[in-house]
A and B are shown apart, each in its own frame.
Chain A
Amino acid sequence: MITVGIEAMNVFGGTAYLDVMQLADHRKLDAIRFENLLMKEKAVALPYEDPVTCGVNAAKPLVDSLSEEEKDSIEMLITCTESGIDFGKSISTYIHHYLGLNRNCRLFELKQACYSGTAGFQMGVNFILSRVSPGAKVLVVATDISRFMVADGGDELTSDWSFAEPSGGAGAVAILISERPYIFQVDVGANGYYGYEVMDTCRPLPDSGAGDADLSLLSYLDCCEQAFLEYQKRVAGVDYRESFQYLTFHTPFGGMVKGAHRTMMRKLAKASPAEIEEDFRQRVMPGMIYCQRVGNIMGATLFLSLASAIDHGRFDYPKRIGCFSYGSGCCSEFFSGVVTAQGQQRQRLLGIESMLNDRYQLSMHEYDTLLKGSGEVRFGARNVRLDLQLIPGVLASCRGKERLYLEEIREFHREYRWFS
């Protein structure tokens, strides 16, 4: 059988970010209890950023590193999102254009809340494994932006929504899949999936979300266990504690992952609280570092966690990473792959950490300006010209980096411009 997996992967973690502790303070949330939720920073989308710009900004460095021939071998571009900008036309068409890819390429979009990135990833993996076009590559771009506004009216669906604001991020992860899995070699056939209908969180309106945090947490925990048990059924000799040197999770916020890991370790590994704490530090924390800085980027979050584990883990010998994906509504999956020291070296060349360090820090005042909807582009906007100077200083802070931003919407068509 051929090998398959991630040839290259890059993260775009926003142009601007907010210190979440400052936000918690501003919203008068209990500081000590809030710290347990393990959130630090969140990327905040500017009005001239959308899932297209985030996706392109994540994918551009990957595409630029390819030869013309390699670039032309990208035969499928899948966008994975719950922040779509059109019911019909997929954002992959815009991303394809701005990346200048070969026209002999399949373009489409996938949706299943935060599971979308995994759905796209598995589709890419299976296309390569099928060998119907030997040597082809697939570009998967998981890209999402949170809408902060909570739907008015109806108490049921909007209770305890207080974590949604500090945890909701903006960004994208671009994943190049091929039969040269330099970064992450997939364990072929080692997949446990589990899904059913549940109304936990959703986006029934164009520009806001709704949901029930309690139901979502319980469903996430059920899926974490059931998806792993299915994986275990299909893969001989698997042990939750011993088989994976690192674990990555879909991470709405760190505290939720910590709870899920604790539940799994107590139930499946019969571990003591002290053992669980140590195991969390060793196996889970490396994958949480980027998530704590970007916030929840939905379909892309699991891969943000994977990139974090690859950049921060110790790969003195090839190590297996277990990945748990969950998307409300719901569908989930546990899968795995192997990372080597060479893979980590390659991955680190992309400098994800320094990209995050270089972002513009928003003041609370600037954040409030954005929150109040200044300059905001609503779903279905027909003609808009974006004010790129809405928060002076942001664009100046990305000088020297090639970035795509939305300049104008003309008769629904989005027109973007490169800045450097």
Chain B
Amino acid sequence: MNKDHIFNLIVSYACQLIPKLEGHQFKPGDRLADLGANSVDRAEIIIMAMEALSLHIPRVELFGANNIGELVDVLYEKSQK
């Protein structure tokens, strides 16, 4: 899966959890917290992405991204291993 696919996954999960984001023009620099995702939502988005990418690693390894673009990067990097 390339980075665009992963980005689109994150966008669809964010919209699923926070319906009011439907129609929002997502950019890599967007922060999930600023879009209204609380810490439970953010963990849920990471878990759903891990399942979609069949990533079997400790979830804490995906901690530390500051925005959606960085989350995409770390998910992509882990999925290449």
Interface residues of A (CB under 8 A from B): 30, 33, 36-37, 159-160, 162-163, 198, 212-215, 217-219, 221-222, 255-256, 259, 263, 266-267
Contacts and interface: CB of A to CB of B under 8 A. Distances in A.
> Binding site of A, secondary structure by majority: helix, strand, loop or mixed?
helix
A324 to B, nearest CB: 16
B60 A198 contact: yes
Contact of B63 (A36, A37, A159, A214): A214
Given A218-B46, A221-B47, A259-B44, A163 B39 contact: yes
B30 to A, nearest CB: 16
B40 A30 contact: no
B43 A259 contact: yes
A267 B59 CA distance: 14
A221 B40 contact: no
Contacts of A160: 33, 38-39
Contacts of A221: 43, 47, 59
B63 A163 contact: no
A217 B40 contact: yes
A162 B37 CA distance: 12
Contacts of B44: 259
Nearest to A30: B36
Nearest to A218: B59
Given A160-B38, A255-B40, A259-B43, A215 B63 contact: yes
21 contacts: A30-B36, A33-B18, A33-B36, A159-B33, A160-B38, A162-B38, A163-B39, A212-B63, A213-B39, A214-B42, A214-B63, A215-B63, A217-B40, A217-B43, A218-B43, A218-B62, A221-B43, A259-B40, A259-B43, A259-B44, A263-B47
B38 A218 contact: no
Interface residues of B, number: 17
A394 to B, nearest CB: 33
Nearest to A267: B51
Contacts of A159: 33
B58 interface: yes
Contacts of B40: 36-37, 217, 255-256, 259
Contacts of A215: 60, 63
Contacts of B46: 218
A204 B46 CA distance: 28
Contacts of A256: 40
A255 B37 CA distance: 13
Nearest to B18: A33
A267 B51 CA distance: 9
Contacts of A267: 51
A259 B59 CA distance: 14
Interface string B42-76: 11101100010000001110110000000000000
Nearest to A34: B38
Sort A-B residue pairs by CB-CB distance and give the 9 closest, nearest first. Answer: A213-B39, A218-B59, A217-B43, A215-B63, A218-B60, A222-B58, A255-B40, A222-B59, A219-B60
Nearest to B44: A259
A273 to B, nearest CB: 12
B39 A222 contact: no
Contact of B38 (A163, A198, A219): A163
Contacts of A36: 40
A37 B38 CA distance: 10
Nearest to B33: A160
Contacts of B36: 30, 33
A86 to B, nearest CB: 33
